[in-house]
Amino acid sequence: MIEFILSLPRLIGCGLAMVSTTVLGLVVYLVSYKLIENSKEVNLKDPVNALFRLVGILVSLMLSLSFGEVIAGWHVVKNAIDREATAISDTYTNLKYFDVDSTREIRAILIEYTQAVIDDDWPAMARDQLGQRTTALRRQFTEKVLELKPTSSVQKQIWNHLLTDIDTMSDYRLIRLNHAMAHPPVYVLVIIFGFLVSMACFGAYQPNSPLIALTSLCTLFIGMVLYLILAMSDPFQGAIIIDPTPFEYLIEAAEFGVR
């Protein structure tokens, strides 16, 4: 169900999540009300009210912590992508400083690699993988850099920078893969369970039109927050994804620069 909702367009998926949460919440509420209403326990309503407040506080706390965590993870991935693109840009510039003529082929491979990140890596990460073509080009590019022969102290220093940038590119690419393979957080199931418990506690209150309307608004909001948590927990598939914009900028800036 979660994978299906996340595979839908953003507005449709969010709307379906909100509607599903509302329907499920109201069903639990009304069933719980019937059970409490038919109970012969005279003092049942007061303990349920106290329990309702406690569960509501816990669910709100977990929602806020979970949302904060996925936002932080989202920024980690975005920062990694920006730094990876910066490392590619620095590598391209340093190759020209090393020797314009002898590094022309390597710079062309680097541009091809950057294009493959867009065309190959991004679709592959939606399937929790890394692109085969991108991996092959990275290996080819690394071998070509290692074959360079520095002939001066300046070139030796630039060559060391190139090796450092290659390691940086690999590290941040691995961060992308780690987040692409992420599954929906386990604590989301706990949040859903707590939400259903809180809706069951609503059964202490007799249903009427204003209460049903307010309860529906509450469940719609919780459904929207849950959808955002699930969608942002994997930033490379679904309706809310991080675009390869920094790499596209690099292609526009460098594709005619191999001279």
In this prediction, residue 254 carries a pLDDT of: 67
The reply to whether 240 falls in a domain is yes
Domain count, the chain: 1
The confidence score (pLDDT) of residue 39 equals 62
CA distances from 66 to 35, 63, 222 (A): 32, 5, 12
Q: Output the pLDDT for position 230.
A: 83
Distance, CA of 75 to CA of 94 (rounded, Å): 28
Type of residue at 137 = L
Query: Which pLDDT score, from 0 to 100, does residue 12 have?
Result: 83
Residue 259 lies in a domain: no
In a domain, 72, yes or no: yes
Q: What is the pLDDT of residues 147-200, one digit of tens each?
A: 888 888 888 999 999 999 999 999 998 888 888 877 767 778 888 888 888 888
Contact of 82 with 169, CB cutoff 8 Å: no
pLDDT at 228: 85
pLDDT at position 256 is 47
**Which residues are CB-contacts of 236 (< 8 A; sequence separation ≥ 6)?**
122, 125, 126, 176, 179, 180, 242
* pLDDT of the residue at 257: 54
Domain that holds residue 33: 2-254
In a domain, 48, yes or no: yes
What digits encode the pLDDT tens for the residues 5-26? 777 777 888 888 889 889 988 8
What parts of the chain have a pLDDT lower than 50? 256
* Domain assignment present for 196: yes
Q: Is residue 127 part of a domain?
A: yes
The pLDDT, as a whole number, for residue 45 is 63
Length of the chain equals: 259
Residue 255 is predicted with a pLDDT of: 57
> What was the pLDDT predicted at 15?
86
Number of H helices, E strands in the chain: 10, 0
